[in-house]
Homo-oligomer: A and B are copies of this chain.
Amino acid sequence: MKKVLFISLLSVVLLSASLSLAQEKAKVAYPVGYRDWPHVKSMLIHDPKHPLYNPFSGLHHIYVNKKGLEAYKKGGPSPDGTIIVFDLLEATVDQGAYVEGARKFIGVMQKDSKKFKETGGWGFDAFEKDTKNSFVKDGGKGCYNCHLGQKDKDYVFSKYRP
């Protein structure tokens, strides 16, 4: 009887833990059509000595939806509805030039000051390669912790390049 009770209690604990993990999964939708959105800026991390080399090595482009473009250009805080995409590609050298290779992943920030109150008003997620499979397992807390250093810039690292 004790054994049965123990197993039942264990099941409840495991179920709760599993539900809790489920709640920590992707909160941000895949940004359908982002490749047609305005291009904010780009950067190529090529040297293993760069502090962000792992996992951000390669050529990345930043895109923003129309809702967020004006604020990006002005440099002010982003309005609710803004979606920013960090599109990271392999960069391979061909005849003395870095050319774009396969997609590593896309990172997404979505502004919703109510829904994402706990993380500066931004939801964070990431999708592997060319898929819509999220691989962020902590509800975006890891992303947020790094972006926290940019609190005075509304948690956004990139600046619009005219």
Where the two chains meet, the residues of A that have a C-beta atom closer than 8 Å to any C-beta of B are 35-39, 41-53, 59, 61, 63, 69, 89, 91, 95-100, 130, 161-162
Contact = CB atoms under 8 A, between A and B. Distances in A.
B95 A51 contact: yes
Contacts of A130: 162
Contact of A39 (B45, B63, B95, B161): B63
Contacts of A42: 42, 59, 61, 100
A89 B162 CA distance: 11
B45 A96 contact: yes
A34 to B, nearest CB: 10
A38 B4 CA distance: 62
Contacts of A91: 44
18 contacts: A36-B38, A36-B69, A42-B42, A42-B61, A43-B97, A44-B59, A44-B97, A45-B97, A46-B97, A47-B96, A47-B97, A48-B96, A49-B95, A50-B97, A51-B95, A53-B96, A89-B161, A98-B98
Contacts of A38: 35-37
Given A39-B63, A41-B100, A161-B100, A95 B46 contact: no
Contacts of A89: 161
Given A39-B39, A44-B59, A49-B95, 14 more contacts: A36-B38, A36-B69, A37-B38, A42-B42, A42-B59, A42-B100, A44-B98, A47-B95, A47-B97, A48-B96, A50-B97, A51-B95, A100-B161, A130-B162
